[in-house]
A = this chain, B = another copy of it.
Amino acid sequence: MLGQRAAAVGRFWKHKRHFNSLACTGSEYSREDHEQSYYKYAYIAGAAAVGMLGVQQFMRTAKLDHAKEEKNLKKLANLPMYAQEEVKKHGKDADRIWVTYKDGVYDVTDFISMHPGGDKILLAAGAAVDPFWALYSQHKTAEVLEILEGYRIGRLDVKDVPKAEPDAFSNDPERHPALLVRNAKPFNAESPPSLLTDHFYTPNELFFVRNHLPVPDVFRKKGDNRNNTNVLQIKTEDHRLTIETMNGKTIDLSVDELKKKYKSYTIGSVIQCAGNRRADMNQYKKVQGLMWEGTAISNAEWTGVRLRDILADAGIDVFDEKIKHVHFEGCDVDPTGTPYGASIPMEKARGNEVIVAYHMNGVDIPRDHGAPLRVIVPGNVGARQVKWLRKIIVSEKESDTFSPAVNIGDELKWDTVPSIQEYPVQCAICTPAPNTKVDRDDGTVDISGYAWSGGGRGIIRIEISVDGGETWSSCEMEQEEKQDKEHMYAWTLFRTEVKIPPGVKEFNIIAKAVDRSYNTQPETASGIWNVRGLIHNAWHRVPIIVKD
C-alpha cells in the first residue's frame, strides 16, 4: 500500500509542473518559462491533449444551462452533510475521490482527467482545496466555481470548514507603481517601456519582476512570528548557501562568509524572460502563458563572486568531464516544499562571467529580485538565473527542463527541444508606444528601444524601417564600454529619429538587430510560433497614426 502510494506520488510529481504550465489558455499563473520540471514525461503521457483541449472541452460540456442550475439549487438544499473524517476516506487511493472547498463537498473523480492542471488535483484528495487555491488564485472565478458545483455531493460539517487561509502573498514587498502588473499573485510585472530606455542600467524599482510564488521572507525581523507556512522564512543573517559535490561532500556559507572569502566582480547583464513579447506572438496565432508585452527584460549591474571560485573552494574540479551541469535551487518553494530550480552547463558555469550576486546596481539585491543571493548567468535566459539562491549542486545530468518551441500539428521530437540557455537576438521599440498619434507637421518621430543577444554576442547593428522593410536606416547605439562585442552581456539601447512617410495616415515603425555572429531576426512569427509563446524575436512593429 505504501509502495503504491509512493508510486502514485512519484507519478504525480512528474506531472505537476507540467500541468501547472498548461493549466489555462491565457493562464495567470503559468510557470512555463522558468522551471525545472518533468514536462517531457507529462507531455508524452498525453497531458498535452488534456492541457490544450481539455480546457475548452470541459468549459463547453460542464457549463450548466439555466434549468439545470435551478434543479441543482434544489438538490443542494437536500444534500447530506459530511464530517471531515468521512471526506478523508476518499483520498487519492480511494475509488471515488472527494475534495472540499469552503463548506462544499465534491466528488471530483470524473473531473480529474479533465482538470487543466492534471492530477495535481489529487494533492487535495480527501481534503480541502482551499490552501492550494490560496496560491493558485485563478481558480477563484465564477466559471470555475460553477464547474465545481456540478460535482457537489454534500456539505461539510461546519466544525470542519477550513478557516480562511492567510494570503500567502501578503508579505510580498511594496512595488513601484510604474510597473505594469501582468499578474498580481504571484507577482509578474513589466518595466514601463516609456521609462526603460532612460537608463542604461534599469533602476531596481523599475526592473521587471517574474515570480513563481510568494516572495521568500528574507527580511523578517526577529520576534515576528507570523505563521505563514507557504513562505520560507529566513533572515538574511541566517541565510546559508549550500554547495553539494558529486561525492556527497557539502559545504555551506553565510552571505557574509561568501563576501569575505571570494574576490568580487561586477558585470552588466540583462535578464530577459523567455516569454518576453509573448503577447506579440499571440497576435500572430493564439499562444498560452502570461501575456508579456515587450519589456519583460531589464539590464542591471550585478556584483558578486565567481561561481567558479565557490565550486573550486568546495573541492570541485570545474574541468571534471563527469560534471555536466550545475543546478541551482531557490528559497521559493511550492506548497509541497519543492523549490524552484534550474541548471546550466558546467562549461558555462566555470566561465568568467557567471557570479553569485549580492548587489544589484550597487545595493543589496531587493527581495523581488532574489535577496540575499541570486545567480547571474550572463547571456542566458532569465529562467536559469535563480533567485533567493540557497543550494548549488553539481551533477552528471541537466535539470529536467523543458523549453519547447514546437509547432502545433507537428510530431513532438524531444531531441529537438533542448532547454533554452542562450537567447537569440532580440530587439524592441520602447517609445513611441503603439498607436501613438503624431503630427505630420513635426516631420519626424523620435524612437528608442533596446536590443540584446544571448551568449555574449554583442549587437553590431540596429536598423529601422518605416516602409515595411524595403529600406532601413541604422540607429545610434549605447553600449557598455567595458564589454567587447564578443562578451557583451549588457544590452544595447538605441535612439534615432525617422521621417514621417509622406501621404500615409498610418505606418509601422519596424526595428531589428544583428548580433556579432550575424544572427538576425525573422520577419514575422510564422517560422518561430510555438504554443507556449516562447522566445518571440520577430521584427518589432509599432503602428503609428499620422494626424494631418
Contacts and interface: CB of A to CB of B under 8 A. Distances in A.
Contacts of A473: 410-411
Given A410-B474, A474-B410, A418 B460 contact: yes
A385 interface: no
B526 A524 contact: no
Interface in A152-205: none
A405 B460 CA distance: 11
A104 interface: no
Contact of A413 (B345, B461, B520): B461
Contacts of A516: 418, 421-422
B522 A520 contact: yes
A283 interface: no
A86 interface: no
Contacts of A527: 463, 469, 472, 512, 520-521, 523, 539
A486 B523 contact: no
Interface residues of A, number: 48
A420 B416 CA distance: 28
B517 A485 contact: no
Nearest to A347: B486
A100 B471 CA distance: 44
Contacts of A413: 461, 474
The complex is assembled from copies of this chain, and their number is: 2
Among A410, A516, A517, the most chain B Cβ lie within 10 Å of the Cβ of A517
A424 interface: yes
Contacts of A485: 418
A423 interface: yes
Contacts of A528: 520
Contacts of A503: none
A44 interface: no
Among A407, A424, A522, the most chain B Cβ lie within 10 Å of the Cβ of A522
A470 interface: yes
Nearest to A422: B517
B421 A460 contact: no
A287 to B, nearest CB: 16
A126 interface: no
A410 B535 CA distance: 29
A371 interface: no
A517 B460 contact: no
A514 B517 CA distance: 15
Interface in A105-135: none
Interface string A531-542: 000010101000
Nearest to A345: B486
Contact of A518 (B410, B424, B461, B518): B424
Contacts of A471: 407, 409
A79 interface: no
Contacts of A410: 463, 472-474
Contacts of A460: 415-418
Contacts of A373: none
A425 interface: yes
B518 A407 contact: no
Contacts of A415: 460
A425 B537 CA distance: 15
A405 B518 CA distance: 9
Contacts of A526: 469-470, 523
Nearest to A408: B471
A454 interface: yes
A370 interface: no
B520 A424 contact: yes
A485 B422 CA distance: 12
A472 B413 CA distance: 13
Interface string A489-523: 00000000000000000000000101011111111
Contacts of A469: 526-527
A463 B526 CA distance: 12
A268 interface: no
Interface in A452-467: 454-455, 460-461, 463
A425 B517 CA distance: 9
A495 to B, nearest CB: 14
Contacts of A519: 424-425, 517, 519
B518 A423 contact: yes
A474 B416 contact: yes
A420 B515 CA distance: 11
A258 B473 CA distance: 50
B472 A517 contact: no
Interface in A392-447: 405, 407, 409-411, 413, 415-418, 420-425
Contacts of A455: 455, 517
Contacts of A522: 520-523
Given A405-B514, A521-B527, 11 more contacts: A345-B486, A407-B463, A409-B471, A410-B473, A418-B460, A422-B517, A422-B518, A424-B517, A455-B455, A512-B527, A522-B522
The 4 A-B residue pairs with the shortest CB-CB distance in the complex, in nearest-first order:
A422-B517, A416-B461, A424-B519, A519-B519
23 contacts: A407-B471, A413-B461, A415-B460, A416-B460, A417-B460, A418-B460, A418-B485, A418-B516, A421-B516, A421-B517, A424-B520, A455-B517, A512-B527, A517-B519, A518-B535, A520-B527, A520-B528, A521-B522, A522-B523, A523-B523, A523-B524, A523-B527, A527-B539
